[in-house]
Amino acid sequence: MKTFLRGALFVALMSTSALAHHGNAAFDVGKTLELKGTVTEWIWANPHCWLKFDVTTNGKAVNWVVEATNSADLMERGWSRLLFKPGDSVTVALEPVKSGAPVGRVRSITLANGKVVGTNYIQRP
Protein backbone atom coordinates (compact mmCIF):
# COMPACT_ATOMS: atom_id res chain seq x y z
CA MET A 1 0.00 0.00 0.00
CA LYS A 2 2.84 2.39 0.89
CA THR A 3 4.44 1.77 -2.53
CA PHE A 4 1.13 2.54 -4.24
CA LEU A 5 0.79 5.82 -2.33
CA ARG A 6 4.34 6.85 -3.21
CA GLY A 7 3.64 6.02 -6.87
CA ALA A 8 0.43 8.04 -6.83
CA LEU A 9 2.25 10.97 -5.22
CA PHE A 10 4.98 10.76 -7.86
CA VAL A 11 2.38 10.91 -10.64
CA ALA A 12 0.67 13.86 -8.93
CA LEU A 13 3.98 15.68 -8.60
CA MET A 14 4.99 15.11 -12.17
CA SER A 15 1.65 16.27 -13.54
CA THR A 16 1.70 19.29 -11.22
CA SER A 17 5.20 20.16 -12.37
CA ALA A 18 4.20 19.94 -16.02
CA LEU A 19 1.16 22.11 -15.45
CA ALA A 20 3.17 24.72 -13.59
CA HIS A 21 4.88 25.68 -16.83
CA HIS A 22 1.62 25.97 -18.71
CA GLY A 23 -0.73 27.67 -16.30
CA ASN A 24 -2.44 27.48 -12.96
CA ALA A 25 -5.10 24.90 -13.83
CA ALA A 26 -4.04 22.38 -11.17
CA PHE A 27 -3.90 24.92 -8.35
CA ASP A 28 -6.74 26.40 -6.34
CA VAL A 29 -5.51 29.90 -7.20
CA GLY A 30 -6.31 32.43 -4.52
CA LYS A 31 -6.74 29.81 -1.77
CA THR A 32 -3.97 29.65 0.80
CA LEU A 33 -3.44 26.94 3.40
CA GLU A 34 -1.09 27.46 6.32
CA LEU A 35 0.35 24.21 7.64
CA LYS A 36 2.78 23.56 10.50
CA GLY A 37 5.04 20.60 10.02
CA THR A 38 8.45 18.97 10.10
CA VAL A 39 10.77 18.92 7.09
CA THR A 40 11.45 15.46 5.67
CA GLU A 41 13.35 16.48 2.53
CA TRP A 42 14.51 19.61 0.69
CA ILE A 43 15.20 19.12 -3.00
CA TRP A 44 17.32 21.94 -4.47
CA ALA A 45 16.99 21.40 -8.21
CA ASN A 46 16.02 22.92 -11.52
CA PRO A 47 13.56 23.63 -12.98
CA HIS A 48 11.86 23.61 -9.55
CA CYS A 49 12.82 23.08 -5.94
CA TRP A 50 10.63 20.90 -3.72
CA LEU A 51 10.00 20.84 0.02
CA LYS A 52 8.56 17.72 1.63
CA PHE A 53 7.21 18.00 5.15
CA ASP A 54 5.03 16.00 7.53
CA VAL A 55 1.91 17.53 9.05
CA THR A 56 0.55 15.59 12.02
CA THR A 57 -3.14 15.80 12.84
CA ASN A 58 -4.80 13.58 15.45
CA GLY A 59 -1.68 11.40 15.61
CA LYS A 60 -1.59 10.77 11.85
CA ALA A 61 1.23 12.21 9.72
CA VAL A 62 0.56 13.30 6.15
CA ASN A 63 3.56 14.05 3.94
CA TRP A 64 3.01 17.22 1.93
CA VAL A 65 5.06 18.15 -1.12
CA VAL A 66 5.25 21.74 -2.24
CA GLU A 67 6.80 23.21 -5.34
CA ALA A 68 8.89 26.34 -5.37
CA THR A 69 10.41 28.13 -8.31
CA ASN A 70 13.92 27.50 -9.64
CA SER A 71 17.03 27.77 -7.48
CA ALA A 72 18.35 30.94 -9.17
CA ASP A 73 15.12 32.84 -8.45
CA LEU A 74 15.01 31.50 -4.90
CA MET A 75 18.60 32.59 -4.19
CA GLU A 76 17.59 36.16 -5.10
CA ARG A 77 14.92 35.90 -2.40
CA GLY A 78 17.29 34.63 0.32
CA TRP A 79 16.83 30.88 -0.06
CA SER A 80 19.69 28.35 -0.25
CA ARG A 81 20.23 24.64 -0.64
CA LEU A 82 21.08 24.58 3.08
CA LEU A 83 17.98 26.47 4.22
CA PHE A 84 16.08 23.36 5.38
CA LYS A 85 17.16 20.05 6.83
CA PRO A 86 15.15 17.02 7.93
CA GLY A 87 13.63 17.61 11.34
CA ASP A 88 13.30 21.40 10.99
CA SER A 89 9.98 22.87 12.11
CA VAL A 90 8.30 25.04 9.47
CA THR A 91 5.03 26.80 8.86
CA VAL A 92 4.22 26.66 5.16
CA ALA A 93 1.74 28.95 3.42
CA LEU A 94 0.81 27.21 0.20
CA GLU A 95 -1.60 27.25 -2.70
CA PRO A 96 -3.07 23.71 -2.78
CA VAL A 97 -3.96 21.65 -5.83
CA LYS A 98 -7.67 21.40 -6.57
CA SER A 99 -7.71 17.60 -6.31
CA GLY A 100 -7.19 17.67 -2.54
CA ALA A 101 -3.90 15.75 -2.73
CA PRO A 102 -1.24 16.87 -0.22
CA VAL A 103 0.54 18.86 -2.93
CA GLY A 104 0.83 22.58 -3.49
CA ARG A 105 2.85 25.59 -4.50
CA VAL A 106 4.83 27.53 -1.89
CA ARG A 107 3.76 31.08 -1.10
CA SER A 108 6.00 31.56 1.97
CA ILE A 109 7.68 29.55 4.71
CA THR A 110 8.25 30.64 8.29
CA LEU A 111 11.27 29.03 9.94
CA ALA A 112 11.43 28.08 13.62
CA ASN A 113 13.48 31.25 14.33
CA GLY A 114 10.70 33.42 12.86
CA LYS A 115 12.47 34.22 9.58
CA VAL A 116 10.07 34.25 6.64
CA VAL A 117 11.14 33.34 3.11
CA GLY A 118 8.78 33.82 0.20
CA THR A 119 8.49 33.11 -3.49
CA ASN A 120 6.57 36.17 -4.72
CA TYR A 121 4.89 34.27 -7.54
CA ILE A 122 3.40 36.51 -10.18
CA GLN A 123 -0.11 35.40 -11.07
CA ARG A 124 -0.76 35.45 -14.79
CA PRO A 125 -4.11 34.84 -16.46
pLDDT band, very low/low/confident/very high, at 2 (cuts 50, 70, 90): low
Asked if 95 and 29 touch (Cβ cutoff 8 Å), the reply is yes
Q: Which pLDDT value is given to residue 39?
A: 98
Q: Which domains does the chain have, with CATH numbers?
A: 2-118 (2.40.50)
- Beta carbons within 10 angstroms of residue 105's beta carbon: 22
Give the model confidence (pLDDT) of 27-44 as tens digits.
Answer: 878 889 999 999 999 999
Q: Which pLDDT value is given to residue 30?
A: 84
Q: Which pLDDT value is given to residue 17?
A: 47
Give 121 or 110, the one with higher predicted confidence: 110
Residue 7: pLDDT above 80? Answer: no
DSSP letter assigned to residue 61: E
Q: Which pLDDT value is given to residue 25?
A: 80
How far does CA 52 lie from the centroid of its chain? Answer: 7
pTM, rounded to two decimals: 0.76
Q: Which pLDDT value is given to residue 103?
A: 94
CA distances from 31 to 19, 27, 96, 104, 107 (A): 18, 9, 7, 11, 11
